[in-house]
Structure formats: C-alpha cells, structure tokens
Structure 1
Amino acid sequence: MKTNFKHTWLLLSLLISPVFAQNEPRTVLDFNKNWRFYLGDEAKAKDVLFNDSDWRTLTLPHDWSIEGQFSERHLSTTQEGALPTGIGWYRKSFTVPVSAKSKAVFVEFDGVYRNSEVWINGHSLGTRPYGYSSFRYDLSKYLRFGTEKNVMSVRVDNSAQPNSRWYSGSGIYRNVRLVTTSQLAVDQWGTYMTTPTITNQNARVSLQTRIRNTGGKPQTVNITSTILDATGKEVASATVPTLRLIDTLTITSQQFDLKNPTLWSIENPYLYKVVTRIYSQNQLVDTFETPLGVRSFKFDPATGFSLNGKPMKILGVCLHHDLGALGTAVNRRAMQRQLELLKAMGCNGIRTAHNPPAPEFLDLCDQMGFIVMDEAFDMWKKKKSKQDYGLNWDVWHKTDLEDMVRRDRNHPSIFMWSIGNEIREQFDSTGLTITKELADIVKKLDTTRPVTSALTENIPEKNFIYRSGALDVLGFNYKHEAYADFPKTFPNQAILASETGSSLQTRGHYDMPSDSVRMWGKGGPANFKDGNPDWTASAYDNEAAYWGSTHEQTWKVIKKLPHMAGLYVWTGFDYLGEPHPYPWPARSSYFGILDLAGFPKDVYYLYQSEWTNQPVLHLFPHWNWQKGANVDVWAYYNQADEVELFLNDKSLGVRKKTGDDLHVMWRVPYEAGTLKAVSRKAGKVVLTRTMSTAGKPAKIQLIADRNTLRADGKDLSFVTVNVLDEQGNLVPDANHLITFNVKGEGSLAGVDNGYQASLEPFKVSYRKAYNGKCLTIIQTTEKSGKITLNATSEGLQAATIELISQ
C-alpha cells in the first residue's frame, strides 16, 4: 500500500498540536500534553532533528523525583526527602496555523524546578534558575507556520545539591500554556486592580492596564472595561475613547463606581470579574479578564487585624508546595482538598512557605476564602544550602520579586507580601540595605498591601531587617514567651506570629505519660532519651522541636493578646523532606496538623474546637492496649462545660478545662471494652463519642472523598483505606500490605499511609497500612465512564468501590 507521508504528518500534527481558535483575538491554550521526557543529559536534544522516539510520552505538570525510590544515596543532607534529582529533558512537537503569522505567540511556564533553559526550533529563549518563578518567552520570530512542525526543548537541571531545605521536586512541575495575541494586546500580568475607597453604598475601583504594541508603528485604540458580578451581569463600565500608543508599552487608567458592592470575606469570598477589551479601527484586537474582590483590611499595633472593619485573628498555617504522594506536580483538586480540610478545621489563612505558589493555588484561596501571606524567598544572598538561590541572588532577585508581585497582585486573598523567611542578613548590616531594596521593589508595584519578613531575632538592636524600618508588619517566628512584651519591645508596630509550633506527632502513635512536654534537642534522638526505634513521635500534643513549642502552648498565648494579629502554624500538612528530629530512614516532616496522606492527627481537633463554632468532642487515643496498662485519655471539646468519661458504662469522672487549658485528661487502667465520652452544657448533653476495643483484622473498607468526578484527565478521588475488625472497628495497629487494582476510565495516581519513615514508593499499586489506614489516589482519564477500585490483602475480606467519571 502506498503511504501518503504528507497526509500522515497532517494527521499526526492534529494529534500533537493545540487547537487554535481562528477568530479569537486572544487564545490561551493548554500546552501540557504530548511532551517527550528523558531523565538524563543529552546535549543534542535542543536540535530540531534530534530523534526522541524512544523517550517517554507524558502530560505535564510532571515531577520526576516523586517517581523514584527512596534511597540514602539520594541524600545530600537530611533535608530534601531522599528521592532522586539530576537532569531531565522535555521535548514537544507542534504546529501553528498560518493565521497566527501576524500575531504574537508566547509560551508561559508557571514554574520549572530548577535551572531551566528553553529552546524553540534550536534557538535558545533563555534560562531561569529560580524554580518557583513564573515566566514566558516570545516564540513569534522563530516559529514555522502551517504544516511545518515546531520543536520546543526544555532542559531542567536539578543536579547541584543541596539547593533546598525541603523536598523541591524536579521538572516542569507546574502548568504550561501557549498564548496567542494580536500585536496590540494587554501585556503579561498587565492589569492592576485597586479599590481605594469602599463604603456600603459604593466602591471606587481603579484599573491600571499595561498595553503592548509590537506592530512597529504608533496606533490609536479604544479601551472598554466592564465589571461583571458573580452571575455575569454587567454592574459597572469605563471607557478610554482614544489612546495613542507610541511606545512599545503604554499604561492607562480607568475608574469605576461599583454601587452597593458585595464584599469579599472569609465567610463569603465573593468575586467580580473585570473584562477589558481593546479596539483598533473598530475591530476587537484583545480581550483580557481580571478577578476582582472588594475588601478592606487593617493592621493595628494595639488591636491586631481587621477585615472589612471586622476584628479577627489570622488563624493560619504554613504550607510547603508538595502534594504528598503526587509530589510537586500541580493538581488543582489536590490543592483544593488540602484547603477543604484546613477550612473545616477553622483555618482562615495560608503562608506560602517559603516561595511563590502555583497560580491555581491562589485562585482557590480567592474562591474559598483564605487570606494569604505570599512569600518570595527562603534566603537572600547569604546561602542556607551550598547550591541554593543565594548563588543566583545578584542577577535574579529583582526580576523574580517583580514577577511575583505582578503575577499575584490582583488576588483578593493576598493581604501581605513576605520578602523572606529567617533571612541570615537579619544578623548583620547587609540586612539594612537589602530589606529597603526589596520593600521598595514591592511598593513600586503595589502600594495596597504591607510588606513583612519572617524574623527569628526579636531583640531590636540585633535585628538589622527590623532596623531597616522598611517592614510595615513585623512577623516573628517561635519564641512565644516574648509575645506579651512586644508592645514595649516594638512600640507602635503591627505584629503577627509568622511561624509557630514545630510540634512533632506521628498519627496514631502514643507515648505515655502524656502530661509533660518533651523538647527534642539539636542533636536529634541522641539528645532525647525517649527517642523511638521506629522513628515515631507521640500524637499527644506534648513534643516539639527545641526551637518551637506545642500547639497548645502557643495558641493559648496568642488568643489572649489583642496586639498579636494572629499566627501561622508550622505546618498545616506534613511535607516531604526536613524529617526533624530523626535521621534517615525518616524522610518527611513530623510538624503537620495533618499527615502526608491528609489524615488528621488528633491536634486537628484542638484547632477545630478553638477556631470553629461547630460542636466538637474528640476522644483519643485508641482503645487497644495491654491489660493493666495506665492509659492517658484526652478529650478536646467546645460548647460544653464538662466531659464525663465512661469505661464499660462505669463513670471515670467528670473533667472541666481549668485556667487556660485546652484539653482534659484521665489516666485510666486499661481493660477491654467500650470507652464513652459525653460533653454537657448546663447539664444537657451536647455530644457523645465512643470507641471500642478492636478485634482481629477482618476486612478492608474504602471511603472515597468524591464518587463523581470530571472526565478531564486531571480530576482525583482520594480514597481512604481502613482495616476493620468484624464489628467495623478500625484496627489501630494494622499494617497489612494492601494491593490495588483499577479498571475503567481511571488510573492510580499515588498511594500513601502518612508514616514519616515509610520507604515504599508512591507510584505503585500497593501500600502497607499504617496504624490501620492508608490512602490511594484515583485519577480520571478524558473519557466518561465507570472506575472500579479493588483492594485486596492476604487474610482480609476484599473491598470494591465504584466511581463515576463524566
């Protein structure tokens, strides 16, 4: 049979190319599919004619490190998580229609970790060392149009180690887009929304627009912008009837009066949308959308923080950017799940520790009602790791900080910029000049939000970042004993606790007695006589790193001090890397309120009892112990005066919180049976909680967080896997190896159990339960249909769950 190679290539090009909308003035296209990937270095891979046919085909975002095996040989320090790094190459072939020849075509990367270089058709477009920056390149003058293929090559070099104090991931781990505009268009991140005055009757809205003219000659344009409410109804508009564009970049302003505005808040994160249209010679040449949230906030040295005039505490957590078993590869649903779990706990704030996050994360914070401290750097010129960003500081810090602010400044969730975390320049005079420089960079781009930095040194004369006078809000990490004296130490300064806690827990593990606090020394277990041979920490809130405190110690101080605007707990979730206090084989942190799999530790309910208005009664630990052992039983509760505990229907007494305590405790001689707690207010029962001694493991239970999914190839269902006895009780020490099989329109995206020293890989079809639980993550395909997950284990009754993708 004769083969028509031209026809075959046209068909292939349709498969590998984005779909261009011919008549749209601006197209933003998913550029994530059909990349070729090679782990290793290949100098010729930038060449158009290089043969990559034996490379792996994948869809971005992609983190190659998370696919590897945990190994001690991957440790450059104990910090990064013991997964492989190295060098990787990505290549993509695509076509561009002839209709785009007169337009501007860009590729936008939300983040590449790290030291990336990008080529198009053999031409180098540039390098970007910082792994957390978003950036774009203009492809226009190097493209081939029509049926000729274009080849993009990306080299990612994460081989120089150590370059991070936590797990960074490796690769093109955030989304990529192909953006096509006319020669007259709103520039990248080219709008800036502010609300200079807000009343119940009217909000004054100001829109600044930066227009790019690359046509080579002056142009006259008309600009119309409209504000749409959440239903899509137009509620305000403004027009610039005639604007002469002489330079390549021109900035223009528009003003709106928004009547009876609905305010953006934690409880009601209401979003408007601003649509900007540019016309040239009565032809629409560009359309650009900007989110708008109308809100006001204030920091006061005496009374703390208020949002829309309402006093409130910032109840925040710090988050690193990894997504547990998914690594750092961005997935919107995985981030949404994290935020849902934190919202249910009562959290209202996120600190992006210690780098700019994915833009989708900020979109979610806008939509779900979180206030965000957007953080730029973990170090300045003085390094913390041998190969870290300090090496790139002189050349890149200004560009990276400007790009963060331009990209993020329209998010209503962001209420503060952080220019650094525990920066070493705070200890010498270089902190004076660098702090002023960075704050000035921010203020030139955004005057509506304060600038802070997370500081460790709270002695004024010793802290050069503070002495610079450039910080609007002082953020202090740890040392909660000093908080009460801050109005005297730092008079007339707004202050928050930018990092607190570093409390240590392993979910479901309990060491007794529990009524004394144990601090882990600088040297790790060698300096901690009760260090455990299985690398666990007790889930009672009574262990912390030497620099930190327990959750209860810090919160009960901050809740009483009106001048403390709030806190950010270290951390919301366990994260890969930084496994203090244990060395290898521990490979992830112990600091989280939730473990790496997203299962709440007991302290989650402490915060829920303090930070929400929902009734809470949480009883722990489990009730499987050796006969005669003395067991410390704790309860977190709210909306009640007292809690009574019963063992096999025999009362063990009533406990009430005394002083500023946040929990109650009983010391109970163990006997098998049922433990019951009853909370009461004014004698009336509020809540009852029971737990029973579990028998032998008998069966598997599967619980999906969502049973109906989107058939978009990205959506996820997080399926909790429990090991139960015959009566349906969780078996608290079950550690069965469970095997998973997925059929239908889905695949297994990852597995986990939350144990910080588990060395099983994440990208396999099996997982040992840890303390009775593990997790499997199911990802959809792009086809609608059923997804069937089957879980089996020797000696246990199997379980099956069916999901629907549509």
Structure 2
Amino acid sequence: MRYIYILCFLLISGFANAQNARKTESFNAGWKFYLGDEPNAKEAAFNDSKWRSLNLPHDWSIEGPFDEKHSTGQNEGGLPAGIGWYRKTFTVPASAKGKHLFIDFDGVYRNSEVWINGHLLGTRPNGYISFEYELTEHLKFGAQNVIAIKVDNSQQPNSRWYSGSGIYRNVWLVTKNSLHIDHWGIQLTTPIIKDKQATVELAISVKNAEARINGDKNAIVVFPLQVKTTVYDATNKQVASNITFANMTDDIERQRIFQAIHIPNPKLWSTNLPYIYRVRVQLQNGTQLVDEQTINTGIRTFNFDAVKGFSLNGIPTKINGVCMHHDLGVLGAAVNTRAIERQLQILKDMGCNAIRTSHNPPAPELLDLCDRMGFLVMDEAFDMWKKKKNKFDYAVDWDKWHVQDLQDQILRDRNHPSVFVWSIGNEIREQRDSTGITIGRELVDIVKQLDKTRPVTSALSDADPTKNFIYQSGALDLVGLNYHQEVYADFPKNYPGQKFIGTEQMSALESRGFYDEPTDTTRFWPQSSKEKYTRGNPEMAVTAYDNVAAYWGSTHETTWKIIKKYPFLSGMFVWTGFDYLGEPTPYPWPARSSYFGIVDLAGFPKDVYYMYQSEWTNKPVLHLLPHWNWQPGKTVDIWAYYNNADEVELYLNGKSLGIRKKQGDDLHVVWKVKYEAGTLKAISRKDGKIVKTEQVVTAGEPYQIKLNADRSTIKADGKDLSFVTVTVLDKQGNPVPNADNLIRFNIEGAGVLKAVDNGSQTNLQSFQSKQCKLFSGKCLVIIQSGQKKGNIAVTATGNGLKSASLGLIGG
C-alpha cells in the first residue's frame, strides 16, 4: 500500500520563493562576435576581448560586399556566408538558486551549436525554427557564466533565396520555478462562438522539473494545482475568468489541465477589425503564484467551401494575399519589429489581407503584428522534404529533424488568430512519386495531433490531380495550387468536391519606374526552363507596365481576373508582395534581388500596386503611368488604374485626349499619346461628378533634394527606425523621374545611419554605405535610434544640388 502525503508547494524542493513567478527578459545585449571558425571559443576561459561587440538580432551576411564569387551565389544575392561565433558573459544571482533557467532562440541560421560554460546543450540545423535549452544544471550561481554559439552557414548552396547568417532573431532568458507551465504549453481554442457568448477552451500542460520519475513509489507526494484564467478586452477590462482545481503527484513530470471560459457578447477578430483579447493564465497554490503567462487571442470563425469559397465570420471574403520571404530588404534577415510593421502597413494600404510565410516558419513578431493589424496567415513549414533542391539544404537533416521541427512550429504558432492554414510544403519533389503519399499523410497527422482547428495544405506545382501523389494521399484539407491559372475555371470538374486555395500566383516581373513598349502583348522572360536568363535591355530592368512574366506564371491582371470571377476560388497569394534578396529572375549577375515584388526592395510601390489597390479597396484610386519625361514626338502608352468611377478623361496641356471606360473584365484603360512636354492630367468621374484627379508633369533638370520621413519621432531604444524617402526635384518642385544623382548622407545626434538602398535589382553598393545613387528618381535612407533620448539631424547633399535637412526626435 502506498502512502500519500498532501503538502503545499512551499514544502517541495525547488518551490521556495514560489511567489516569484516566471521572468522572461531579453538576452540580446552585450554579445561578442567573431566571423570565422574558432573551435576553442566554446570554452568558458577563452579570451574574446578582441572580438566585435554587438547586440542581437544580427545578420552578418547583409554587412558584407556583393560578390558573384561568394559561395552563396546569385540565388542568395552574392553575399557572404561562412561560420560565425557568438559569446556572452553574464551573471546569475545567487538568489536564483532553486530556480530553473532556460535560453530561448527564436531562430538561428543555421546549424547552431549552443554551449554553456563549456558544456554542449544541443544542436539545431533548421535555420527558421524556434527552440529552447535549459541552462540550470551547468550554471554557476552568484558567479559569471559564458554562453557560446557556433553558427555554421558554410555549406553552400543550402537555400534558393537569401537566408542571412547568424542569430538573426531574438533571444530570451527565462527563469521558472520547478513547477511551471510547459514551453508552448498552453493551447487556446474557441469551439463555440455565438452572438451573446463565446466559449474559450484551454489545455494547459504543467511541468514538474523535479519529478521523481524513478523515485520511491511507496511515498507519493500529492499537491493541489489551481489554475486561474482571466480574460481582458482591448480596453484592459476584465470580461471573464475561471478557476480550475486539480491534483498532481510528484512522480509525474507533466500533466494537462483543461478549462473552459465563457466570454459574453464577444467582439470578433477580422481583417477589417482585428479585435484582440488578452488571456492571463496563473498557476498557483492558494495565494502562492508559481507561474504566469499571457496570450493575446482573437475570436473568429472561418470556413472553406467547395462551391462558395472562403468566409470569415460568416461573411464571404476573398483571400487577397501575397507571399513574403523573411528578409527585410536592406536590413537583411535580422528581425526588426518596426521594419516588419512598415512592410505590413504598405501591404494593408494596398488592400492585402493575407500573408503566406514562404517557405518556412516566420519570426514570432510577424505573427504578433498580423494578429494586431488584421492579416490572415498561411504558416508554411518546408521548402523540401527528403528530396533536395540544393546540395546542402534541409533534405540533409530531414530524417532526424522533420518531426520535431514541425511539432515545434505548430506548438509555437497555434494560438495566433491570424494563422488560418498550415502548409506542410512548397513545390515538394515528392509530389511526383509515391513517397509523397506516405510523407504527406505523416506530416498532416503530426499537425492534426496538435491542432485540429485549421486546415492543412501543400503548395502543389503539378496541377494534374491524377499525377500528383501528395494530392493522391487524401490527407490535404485544401488543394493548394501554384500557378497553372489555365485550370482554375475548371477546378470543380478536375477536383470534384475539393476546396481551392491559390498558394502561389503570378511571378510577374517589373522594375519600378522603368518603361518600354509595346504594352499590348505579354512577354515571358525567360520563355522556358531551357532559357535561364534573358538580357532584355542594357539596364537589366523590366518594364513596369504589367505585361512581363516568367514562363511558369502570368501577368498580375491575367490571374486576378480569374480568381475574381469564380466564387469557388477562395483567393490567392501573389508571388510576391515585396522584392526580396536573391533569385533575380530573369537577369544574370549583377542582378542580385528579385523582380517579382509588387513593392520594390526599398519599400517603394511599383505601378501595379495601384491596380491591386483599385481592386482590393474601396478608397478612391486613380493612378497614371508612366512618367512624362520623353523624347519629343515619341508615342507613349498611357495606362490608368481607377475605381469608384465610370470613366476617366485624359488631358494633355489642357486639351482632352478622350474618355476611356473599362469594358468587360478590363482592369485598366489605355491611351496612345504623342509626347509633348507639359502636363498630363486625368480626371475620373462617376455619374458625371469628379471622383479623383491626378497629373504627371514634365520635370526639368535636377535642382534640389527632398527628404520625407515616415515617422519624425522614434523610440530611443536602439532599435526603432525612421524610413526617409529621398527624391530630387526641379526648380518648380516637380519630382525628376529619371534622376540618378549620387546622394551623400550625414547623421548627427541621437541616431545612426542604419542602411541605404534605391530599389534597383542591380545595385551592388553596400547597404551600410553613407551614400546612395538614385534609381528612377528615388532612394531610401534608414535612421536607427540610439539608446538615449535626443534630436537627430539628417542632411543629404549631392553635387550641383540644393541640399536638404530633416530633424527627427529619439524619445
């Protein structure tokens, strides 16, 4: 017979000071970095005094020069990779003894090895996954400790796009009591949502870090658990709470506790109104708090239907999405919340309501922002399975790591209201043989074991249902198709009873501000898989008229017309929202970034941005292209994107050139105009009344610089950013569209120059330079705040130009 003792938490080893609950703090500051291999750096006594000091997140590749000879190659932008070491010395107070300390990494690219005081904690090859190690066993309490991380990105190629290198996402030091809520140990679902009440269900995994797994079974200690959950609305008002009691014995390492909370008159989360509730979970014994976690969540319902398409909260909704790689352009892969927020703001203003995280788990900050800003997210896991796409890619690590990596992704991300679809792969090569059936079923089963509330898809590049083995597995909830827009209209016939989602579309190509004719025919660059690169013009640019695409895709208008037309087509994800580093189709070196984006690498919209804005929003849109600086007598195709109007009338120097109206499924109207200097003016009208007016003016010679900051006040936290757009004007204040002046920058005060760029796919100048050449009349300078409050002065100068100054505040 076993003897059972009931004791309070404070009498159990490790539960002393239980009122001091979990503490999570940034572990980003005060690191030392060395680019190169130094095997002895794992030892605590190693002398790193000559190493570079820096704060995380950090991407060393983005700091290097562009070079075609780098092992990363053109697909990764020709930036350096290699091996790097990070070390940090820190003190753990003696008062922390009895606690359990963990280090959490949001992402390290790639092949990381983590050492604490000379002891190896573990390795993780996947560069996009988040992971945690416990430090406790090897710590010196009341003394200095050294953590060392080796990052090995030397085996190339391992990616089809720019990956970055280093500890490029945030790092956290977490202190817990012996009894605590497990890592990613809370699952929150909303199974019942009605007008007057929503039910929130929680499954909470409680861990006893000092469980007597192999101890004396004749004396089992039982202690009572109390879980108190409180829900707060967006105004921080408490709207619901519940307390659940349970018992746990000290020979059990983990136990799950289930709880239900009823929220009255719930406000629903949507892409138009992303209402967020805050859920606080407290693990305690009486008045003794052992652990506490807070989760932001949203209450929403959604549905995919084989006939009606997608609905959100019962409202039919097209998924107007874009694919996004993880790099932040000139900032590289290093996570910066403001930079991600800026990208999302630009896309939101276009009418975008969904993001596909191509082709890997995203930074947690992206999901947090999508929750708050109202974006649906297709959360994607893999770009390859066992069959490789590059010599040293994740296929090398598949057998050992894919189960844990996928589990960790689902556990980490499943509470985000923005996440509405899981994708287990992109254009996986196993779709063409029977291994796709086995692996597809395995991966979907892993997802469903952890989350049954969201559908699972895989982005399929083979549209023939009789030949695609991943589809034949029967495991997918949604048929996700990449390209092959020619089969979309017949989807119900080819995939009877199946639900559609367009996982990747378009691959149209543009360079911002560059134009050539004719515009009434579609060009495919390259024209086939045998023609890898095309030299279309000496500038290595692609016209910004929407009439050029890669052979596997289409122009923007072509596919959107089809998606728009049929309700059973739930929506699509355009390839891509922003240009990204690497994969510079269709040109060879020195092209080093993509031409696919609706927005260029610097964050400047291309003209097709306004086509989407006219289709995806209700705000009045009237956009003319191209500019109006040409050789006399040249015939120019004038396009206009517009909405909320019946017609557009075009004027040249006050003379009407005629009225144009969209016919059928047209998305723009066209005039052919013989160029003469002056003013080109467009007026859109509805029912005879003016809706909007826009004009483009012939600009004179470059005369003066203009600076415009997206924000004039930034936080003095050493991380916040102000994105300053630089343009050159003529004497009359008109932007000069073809200006290519070299602009030099000087920054004084409480900030620094973080990076520069101009959006050109062939710009090989270092992003860390203090000067930048304009491309199509624009460039960008990014100012980063310092750690202290104060004024920041930005000055821009150029030969023969009137300089410009701008004042910012770091506060």
Q: Fold-level match, TM-score > 0.5?
A: yes
| Equivalent position of 2:104 in the other structure | 108
Separation in 2 of the partners of 1:109 and 1:529? 42
When residues 528 and 145 of structure 1 are mapped into structure 2, their CA distance, relative to the original with a 3 A threshold, is: closer
- Greater CA drift, 77-86 or 281-290: 281-290
| Equivalent position of 2:28 in the other structure | 32
Q: Deviations over 1:450-495 (max 9, x none)?
A: 0000001111110000000000011101111110100010011110
Alpha-carbon contact 1:525-1:581 (below 8 Å) kept: no
Shift, 1:77, TM fit: 4.2
| Equivalent position of 2:205 in the other structure | 210
3-state DSSP of counterpart to 1:72: coil
3-state DSSP of counterpart to 2:270: coil
Structure 2 unpaired stretches of 5+: 1-16, 213-220
3-state DSSP of counterpart to 2:92: coil
Shift, 1:583, TM fit: 1.0
Q: Deviations over 1:203-223 (max 9, x none)?
A: 111001011101335543211
Structure 1 counterpart of 2:101, one-letter code: V
3-state DSSP of counterpart to 2:57: coil
How many equivalent pairs are there? 785
3-state DSSP of counterpart to 1:711: coil
Alpha-carbon contact 2:198-2:265 (below 8 Å) kept: yes
**Partner residue of 1:411 out of 396, 412, 416:** 416
3-state DSSP of counterpart to 1:492: coil
3-state DSSP of counterpart to 1:462: coil
Shift, 1:76, TM fit: 4.6
| Equivalent position of 1:124 in the other structure | 120
Separation in 1 of the partners of 2:803 and 2:18? 53
Q: Deviations over 1:664-684 (max 9, x none)?
A: 011111111110001111111
Alpha-carbon contact 2:561-2:665 (below 8 Å) kept: yes
Structure 1 unpaired stretches of 5+: 1-20
Structure 2 counterpart of 1:787, one-letter code: I
Shift, 1:239, TM fit: 1.4
- 2:130 matches 1:134: yes
Alpha-carbon contact 2:25-2:173 (below 8 Å) kept: yes
Q: Deviations over 1:64-111 (max 9, x none)?
A: 000000001115543111000000000000001112110110000000
Structure 1 counterpart of 2:456, one-letter code: V
Alpha-carbon contact 2:18-2:289 (below 8 Å) kept: no
3-state DSSP of counterpart to 2:245: strand
Alpha-carbon contact 1:510-1:540 (below 8 Å) kept: yes
Separation in 2 of the partners of 1:288 and 1:250? 17
- 2:302 matches 1:297: yes
Separation in 2 of the partners of 1:471 and 1:135? 27
Shift, 1:506, TM fit: 0.2
| Equivalent position of 1:398 in the other structure | 403
| Equivalent position of 1:287 in the other structure | 292
| Equivalent position of 2:50 in the other structure | 54
**Partner residue of 2:790 out of 779, 785, 789:** 785
Correspondence list, 1:422-437, <5 A = 422-437=427-442
| Equivalent position of 2:751 in the other structure | 746
- 2:697 matches 1:697: no
Separation in 1 of the partners of 2:529 and 2:724? 35
- 2:550 matches 1:545: yes
Separation in 1 of the partners of 2:428 and 2:109? 22
Structure 1 counterpart of 2:796, one-letter code: A
Alpha-carbon contact 1:525-1:582 (below 8 Å) kept: no
| Equivalent position of 1:227 in the other structure | 231
Shift, 1:524, TM fit: 8.5
Structure 1 counterpart of 2:21, one-letter code: P
**Partner residue of 1:618 out of 619, 623, 630:** 623
3-state DSSP of counterpart to 2:407: helix
**Partner residue of 2:538 out of 533, 536, 542:** 533
Shift, 1:280, TM fit: 2.9
**Partner residue of 1:680 out of 681, 685, 698:** 685
Correspondence list, 1:442-591, <5 A = 442-521=447-526, 531-591=536-596
| Equivalent position of 1:16 in the other structure | none
Separation in 2 of the partners of 1:526 and 1:501? 19
| Equivalent position of 2:240 in the other structure | 236
Structure 1 counterpart of 2:292, one-letter code: T
| Equivalent position of 1:727 in the other structure | 732
Structure 2 counterpart of 1:242, one-letter code: A
| Equivalent position of 2:14 in the other structure | none
Shift, 1:521, TM fit: 2.5
Structure 1 counterpart of 2:56, one-letter code: L
Correspondence list, 1:90-105, <5 A = 90-105=86-101
Separation in 2 of the partners of 1:220 and 1:51? 49
**Partner residue of 2:150 out of 152, 155, 162:** 155
When residues 702 and 24 of structure 1 are mapped into structure 2, their CA distance, relative to the original with a 3 A threshold, is: farther
Shift, 1:520, TM fit: 1.3
| Equivalent position of 1:384 in the other structure | 389
**Partner residue of 2:161 out of 166, 170, 189:** 166
Separation in 2 of the partners of 1:115 and 1:76? 16
- Greater CA drift, 37-46 or 244-253: 244-253
**Partner residue of 1:342 out of 316, 329, 347:** 347
- 2:69 matches 1:64: no
Alpha-carbon contact 1:606-1:662 (below 8 Å) kept: yes
| Equivalent position of 1:86 in the other structure | 82
- Greater CA drift, 781-790 or 359-368: 781-790
**Partner residue of 2:714 out of 695, 709, 713:** 709
3-state DSSP of counterpart to 1:392: helix
Alpha-carbon contact 1:295-1:308 (below 8 Å) kept: yes
Alpha-carbon contact 1:644-1:653 (below 8 Å) kept: yes
Separation in 2 of the partners of 1:528 and 1:448? 44
Separation in 1 of the partners of 2:535 and 2:174? 57
Separation in 2 of the partners of 1:530 and 1:166? 21
- Greater CA drift, 523-532 or 172-181: 523-532
3-state DSSP of counterpart to 1:357: coil
* Same amino acid, percent of matched pairs: 61
| Equivalent position of 2:194 in the other structure | 199
Correspondence list, 1:251-290, <5 A = 251-280=256-285, 282-290=287-295
Q: Deviations over 1:279-327 (max 9, x none)?
A: 1364111111122211000000000000000011000000000001100
Shift, 1:24, TM fit: 3.3
Q: Deviations over 1:181-234 (max 9, x none)?
A: 100111111100001111101111100101110133554321111111112222
- 2:751 matches 1:756: no
When residues 338 and 439 of structure 1 are mapped into structure 2, their CA distance, relative to the original with a 3 A threshold, is: same
Separation in 2 of the partners of 1:322 and 1:634? 32
| Equivalent position of 1:11 in the other structure | none
Alpha-carbon contact 1:22-1:99 (below 8 Å) kept: no
Alpha-carbon contact 2:534-2:586 (below 8 Å) kept: no
3-state DSSP of counterpart to 1:461: coil
**Partner residue of 1:804 out of 791, 805, 809:** 809
Structure 1 counterpart of 2:439, one-letter code: I
Structure 1 counterpart of 2:325, one-letter code: H
Alpha-carbon contact 1:525-1:531 (below 8 Å) kept: no
When residues 130 and 151 of structure 1 are mapped into structure 2, their CA distance, relative to the original with a 3 A threshold, is: same
Shift, 1:243, TM fit: 2.4
Separation in 1 of the partners of 2:47 and 2:451? 47
Shift, 1:523, TM fit: 6.3
3-state DSSP of counterpart to 1:460: coil
Separation in 2 of the partners of 1:326 and 1:77? 19
Structure 1 counterpart of 2:247, one-letter code: L
Alpha-carbon contact 2:72-2:80 (below 8 Å) kept: no
Shift, 1:23, TM fit: 6.5
When residues 527 and 494 of structure 1 are mapped into structure 2, their CA distance, relative to the original with a 3 A threshold, is: closer
Separation in 1 of the partners of 2:92 and 2:533? 63
**Partner residue of 1:329 out of 334, 346, 357:** 334
